[in-house]
Protein backbone atom coordinates (compact mmCIF):
# COMPACT_ATOMS: atom_id res chain seq x y z
CA UNK A 1 0.00 0.00 0.00
CA UNK A 2 1.37 3.42 -1.01
CA UNK A 3 0.84 6.45 1.22
CA UNK A 4 -1.20 8.95 -0.86
CA UNK A 5 0.23 12.35 0.09
CA UNK A 6 -1.81 14.08 -2.67
CA UNK A 7 -4.97 13.20 -0.77
CA UNK A 8 -4.00 15.10 2.38
CA UNK A 9 -2.50 18.01 0.44
CA UNK A 10 -3.26 18.46 -3.25
CA UNK A 11 -0.71 21.29 -3.35
CA UNK A 12 2.28 19.15 -2.33
CA UNK A 13 4.69 19.21 -5.28
CA UNK A 14 7.60 17.15 -3.95
CA UNK A 15 8.34 14.50 -1.35
CA UNK A 16 11.06 12.11 -0.32
CA UNK A 17 10.29 8.41 -0.64
CA UNK A 18 11.80 4.94 -0.83
CA UNK A 19 11.59 2.56 -3.78
CA UNK A 20 9.83 -0.45 -2.28
CA UNK A 21 9.85 -2.50 -5.50
CA UNK A 22 10.24 -2.53 -9.25
CA UNK A 23 7.29 -4.60 -10.49
CA UNK A 24 7.44 -7.24 -13.22
CA UNK A 25 6.47 -4.68 -15.87
CA UNK A 26 9.20 -2.23 -14.86
CA UNK A 27 6.87 0.04 -12.89
CA UNK A 28 8.30 1.82 -9.84
CA UNK A 29 6.55 1.33 -6.50
CA UNK A 30 7.27 3.87 -3.73
CA UNK A 31 6.30 3.87 -0.06
CA UNK A 32 4.69 7.32 -0.51
CA UNK A 33 4.04 9.74 -3.34
CA UNK A 34 2.68 13.14 -4.34
CA UNK A 35 1.78 11.85 -7.83
CA UNK A 36 -1.95 11.18 -8.29
CA UNK A 37 -2.73 7.75 -9.70
CA UNK A 38 -5.29 7.74 -12.52
CA UNK A 39 -8.83 7.24 -11.18
CA UNK A 40 -12.32 8.66 -11.48
CA UNK A 41 -11.68 10.28 -14.87
CA UNK A 42 -8.62 12.22 -13.66
CA UNK A 43 -5.39 11.26 -15.46
CA UNK A 44 -2.35 9.97 -13.60
CA UNK A 45 0.32 12.58 -12.91
CA UNK A 46 3.60 12.98 -14.75
CA UNK A 47 6.80 14.02 -13.00
CA UNK A 48 10.27 12.78 -12.19
CA UNK A 49 12.23 10.79 -9.63
CA UNK A 50 15.75 11.90 -8.83
CA UNK A 51 18.41 10.27 -6.69
CA UNK A 52 22.15 10.46 -6.19
CA UNK A 53 23.47 10.38 -9.75
CA UNK A 54 20.17 9.49 -11.43
CA UNK A 55 16.89 10.78 -12.81
CA UNK A 56 13.84 8.99 -14.18
CA UNK A 57 10.95 10.72 -15.97
CA UNK A 58 7.53 9.42 -14.97
CA UNK A 59 5.15 9.15 -17.94
CA UNK A 60 2.06 8.39 -15.87
CA UNK A 61 0.96 7.08 -12.50
CA UNK A 62 -1.54 4.24 -12.04
CA UNK A 63 -2.96 1.90 -9.41
CA UNK A 64 -1.84 -1.71 -9.32
CA UNK A 65 -4.50 -4.44 -9.44
CA UNK A 66 -4.85 -4.30 -5.63
CA UNK A 67 -6.05 -0.65 -5.97
CA UNK A 68 -3.87 0.48 -3.04
CA UNK A 69 -0.38 0.18 -4.50
CA UNK A 70 0.64 3.06 -6.77
CA UNK A 71 2.87 2.32 -9.75
CA UNK A 72 5.00 5.08 -11.33
CA UNK A 73 5.36 4.24 -15.01
CA UNK A 74 8.78 5.35 -16.31
CA UNK A 75 9.12 7.15 -19.65
CA UNK A 76 10.50 4.88 -22.33
CA UNK A 77 14.28 4.49 -22.18
CA UNK A 78 14.57 5.79 -18.61
CA UNK A 79 17.03 4.46 -16.08
CA UNK A 80 15.22 2.85 -13.15
CA UNK A 81 16.19 3.43 -9.53
CA UNK A 82 17.06 0.27 -7.60
CA UNK A 83 14.67 -1.16 -5.00
CA UNK A 84 15.50 0.20 -1.55
CA UNK A 85 16.90 3.48 -2.88
CA UNK A 86 15.77 6.81 -1.39
CA UNK A 87 14.42 9.10 -4.15
CA UNK A 88 13.04 12.62 -4.47
CA UNK A 89 9.62 12.75 -6.15
CA UNK A 90 8.74 15.80 -8.26
CA UNK A 91 5.30 16.50 -9.68
CA UNK A 92 4.72 18.31 -13.00
CA UNK A 93 2.77 20.98 -11.18
CA UNK A 94 1.54 23.10 -14.10
CA UNK A 95 -0.34 20.21 -15.68
CA UNK A 96 -1.68 18.95 -12.32
CA UNK A 97 -2.92 22.41 -11.35
CA UNK A 98 -4.95 22.51 -14.58
CA UNK A 99 -6.43 19.11 -13.69
CA UNK A 100 -7.34 20.51 -10.26
CA UNK A 101 -9.03 23.55 -11.82
CA UNK A 102 -10.96 21.47 -14.36
CA UNK A 103 -11.87 18.84 -11.76
CA UNK A 104 -13.27 21.45 -9.36
CA UNK A 105 -15.14 23.12 -12.23
CA UNK A 106 -16.84 19.79 -12.97
CA UNK A 107 -18.07 19.65 -9.35
CA UNK A 108 -19.61 23.10 -9.90
CA UNK A 109 -21.21 21.89 -13.15
CA UNK A 110 -22.60 18.95 -11.19
CA UNK A 111 -24.19 21.38 -8.73
CA UNK A 112 -25.97 23.21 -11.56
CA UNK A 113 -27.12 20.19 -13.58
CA UNK A 114 -29.11 18.11 -11.12
CA UNK A 115 -29.35 14.98 -13.27
CA UNK A 116 -27.44 11.73 -12.69
CA UNK A 117 -23.86 11.68 -13.97
CA UNK A 118 -23.07 8.73 -16.24
CA UNK A 119 -19.44 9.45 -17.06
CA UNK A 120 -16.72 12.04 -17.25
CA UNK A 121 -13.19 12.89 -18.20
CA UNK A 122 -10.68 15.47 -16.99
CA UNK A 123 -7.99 17.02 -19.18
CA UNK A 124 -5.39 19.74 -18.71
CA UNK A 125 -7.47 22.42 -20.45
CA UNK A 126 -10.97 21.02 -20.48
CA UNK A 127 -13.22 18.38 -19.04
CA UNK A 128 -16.61 16.87 -19.64
CA UNK A 129 -19.43 15.20 -17.80
CA UNK A 130 -22.16 13.03 -19.26
CA UNK A 131 -25.60 13.41 -17.73
CA UNK A 132 -28.77 11.39 -18.05
CA UNK A 133 -30.97 14.42 -18.77
CA UNK A 134 -34.70 14.00 -19.32
CA UNK A 135 -35.56 17.71 -19.41
CA UNK A 136 -33.24 20.34 -20.92
CA UNK A 137 -35.02 23.32 -19.27
CA UNK A 138 -32.40 25.86 -18.17
CA UNK A 139 -29.57 23.79 -19.64
CA UNK A 140 -27.84 25.76 -22.37
CA UNK A 141 -24.25 26.88 -22.87
CA UNK A 142 -24.67 30.57 -22.05
CA UNK A 143 -26.82 30.05 -18.94
CA UNK A 144 -24.44 27.43 -17.56
CA UNK A 145 -21.36 29.54 -18.37
CA UNK A 146 -22.68 32.58 -16.49
CA UNK A 147 -23.85 30.50 -13.53
CA UNK A 148 -20.44 28.78 -13.36
CA UNK A 149 -18.71 32.18 -13.50
CA UNK A 150 -20.81 33.35 -10.55
CA UNK A 151 -19.80 30.30 -8.48
CA UNK A 152 -16.13 30.87 -9.35
CA UNK A 153 -16.34 34.58 -8.47
CA UNK A 154 -18.02 33.81 -5.13
CA UNK A 155 -14.76 32.13 -4.07
CA UNK A 156 -16.41 29.25 -2.21
CA UNK A 157 -14.07 27.15 -0.04
CA UNK A 158 -13.39 23.54 -1.12
CA UNK A 159 -12.84 21.22 1.84
CA UNK A 160 -12.71 17.49 2.51
CA UNK A 161 -13.80 15.26 5.35
CA UNK A 162 -14.09 11.54 5.91
CA UNK A 163 -17.21 9.51 6.65
CA UNK A 164 -17.65 5.79 7.20
CA UNK A 165 -18.93 3.42 4.51
CA UNK A 166 -22.04 2.92 6.67
CA UNK A 167 -22.68 6.68 6.81
CA UNK A 168 -22.46 6.87 3.02
CA UNK A 169 -24.77 3.89 2.60
CA UNK A 170 -27.30 5.73 4.78
CA UNK A 171 -27.06 8.80 2.52
CA UNK A 172 -27.23 7.43 -1.06
CA UNK A 173 -28.29 10.87 -2.43
CA UNK A 174 -24.65 11.96 -2.02
CA UNK A 175 -23.58 9.71 -4.87
CA UNK A 176 -24.00 11.62 -8.14
CA UNK A 177 -21.87 9.49 -10.41
CA UNK A 178 -23.55 6.23 -11.35
CA UNK A 179 -20.67 5.03 -13.53
CA UNK A 180 -17.92 5.51 -10.95
CA UNK A 181 -18.65 3.93 -7.59
CA UNK A 182 -17.12 5.81 -4.67
CA UNK A 183 -14.02 4.04 -3.36
CA UNK A 184 -15.59 1.99 -0.56
CA UNK A 185 -14.23 -1.03 1.24
CA UNK A 186 -11.47 0.63 3.26
CA UNK A 187 -14.10 1.54 5.86
CA UNK A 188 -14.08 5.25 5.13
CA UNK A 189 -14.91 7.50 2.20
CA UNK A 190 -13.68 11.02 1.50
CA UNK A 191 -16.33 13.68 0.95
CA UNK A 192 -15.51 16.83 -1.00
CA UNK A 193 -17.56 19.87 0.06
CA UNK A 194 -17.86 23.11 -1.88
CA UNK A 195 -19.33 26.03 0.03
CA UNK A 196 -20.19 26.21 3.73
CA UNK A 197 -21.05 22.66 4.86
CA UNK A 198 -21.15 21.56 1.21
CA UNK A 199 -23.97 23.99 0.41
CA UNK A 200 -22.89 24.18 -3.26
CA UNK A 201 -21.77 20.57 -3.79
CA UNK A 202 -21.12 17.59 -1.56
CA UNK A 203 -20.09 14.19 -2.87
CA UNK A 204 -17.58 11.39 -2.37
CA UNK A 205 -14.45 11.99 -4.44
CA UNK A 206 -10.83 10.87 -4.27
CA UNK A 207 -9.47 13.40 -6.80
CA UNK A 208 -7.47 16.60 -6.40
CA UNK A 209 -9.20 19.99 -6.20
CA UNK A 210 -8.27 23.66 -5.79
CA UNK A 211 -8.88 25.05 -2.28
CA UNK A 212 -11.17 27.92 -3.36
CA UNK A 213 -13.39 28.20 -6.42
CA UNK A 214 -11.82 31.52 -7.54
CA UNK A 215 -8.65 29.57 -8.33
CA UNK A 216 -10.50 27.86 -11.21
CA UNK A 217 -10.33 31.17 -13.09
CA UNK A 218 -12.11 31.87 -16.36
CA UNK A 219 -14.05 29.03 -17.96
CA UNK A 220 -16.88 28.41 -20.38
CA UNK A 221 -19.30 25.67 -21.32
CA UNK A 222 -18.17 25.16 -24.91
CA UNK A 223 -20.31 22.28 -26.09
CA UNK A 224 -23.45 20.33 -25.24
CA UNK A 225 -23.70 17.16 -27.31
CA UNK A 226 -26.28 14.43 -27.56
CA UNK A 227 -24.83 11.02 -26.73
CA UNK A 228 -27.65 8.53 -26.95
CA UNK A 229 -31.34 8.88 -26.15
CA UNK A 230 -31.22 11.04 -23.02
CA UNK A 231 -27.49 11.25 -22.54
CA UNK A 232 -25.97 14.74 -22.88
CA UNK A 233 -22.26 15.45 -22.81
CA UNK A 234 -21.38 18.88 -21.39
CA UNK A 235 -17.89 20.17 -22.07
CA UNK A 236 -16.18 22.84 -19.96
CA UNK A 237 -13.02 24.65 -21.16
CA UNK A 238 -10.61 26.79 -19.15
CA UNK A 239 -10.08 30.30 -20.54
ZN1 LIG B 1 -13.64 15.64 -7.16
- pLDDT digits 0-9 by tens, 106-165: 999 999 999 999 999 999 999 999 999 988 888 999 999 999 999 999 999 999 999 998
**pLDDT tens-place string over residues 24-65:** 999 999 999 999 999 989 999 999 999 999 999 999 999 999
Cβ contacts of 137 within 8 Å, gap of 6 or more: none
What average pLDDT does the segment 71-93 reach?
A: 97
pTM (two decimals): 0.94
pLDDT score, position 146: 98
Please give the C-alpha separations between residue 18 and each of 4, 46, 89, in angstroms, as whole numbers.
Answer: 14, 18, 10
Helix, strand, coil distribution of the chain in percent, nearest 5: 20, 40, 40
22 pLDDT higher than 80: yes
Q: What is the mean pLDDT of the chain?
A: 94
- Specify burial of residue 128 (Cβ count, 10 A radius: 0-12, 13-18, 19+): buried
Q: Would you say 85 and 49 are in contact if contact means Cβ atoms under 8 Å apart?
A: no
Whole-number Å distance, alpha carbon 238 to ligand 1 midpoint, is 17
Phi, psi (5° rounding) for residue 34?
-100, 0
Whole-number Å distance, alpha carbon 143 to ligand 1 midpoint, is 23
- Specify burial of residue 155 (Cβ count, 10 A radius: 0-12, 13-18, 19+): exposed
What average pLDDT does the segment 80-107 reach?
A: 98
Whole-number Å distance, alpha carbon 172 to ligand 1 midpoint, is 17
Whole-number Å distance, alpha carbon 133 to ligand 1 midpoint, is 21
What average pLDDT does the segment 222-233 reach?
A: 92
Whole-number Å distance, alpha carbon 218 to ligand 1 midpoint, is 19
Q: Decide: helix, strand or coil at residue 6.
A: helix
Whole-number Å distance, alpha carbon 86 to ligand 1 midpoint, is 31
DSSP symbol at 39: B
175 pLDDT higher than 90: no
DSSP assignments along 77-143, one per residue: TPPPPPTT-EEEEEE-HHHHHHHHHHHHHHHHHHHH--SPEEEEEE-SSEEEEEEE-S--TT--HHH
Amino acid sequence: MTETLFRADAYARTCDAYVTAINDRGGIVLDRTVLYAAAGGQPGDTGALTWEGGVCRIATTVYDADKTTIVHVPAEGSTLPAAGLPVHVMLDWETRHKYMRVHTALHLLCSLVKWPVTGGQIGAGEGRLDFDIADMAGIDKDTLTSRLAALVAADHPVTTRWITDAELEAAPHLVRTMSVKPPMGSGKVRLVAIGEDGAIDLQPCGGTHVSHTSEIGGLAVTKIESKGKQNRRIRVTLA
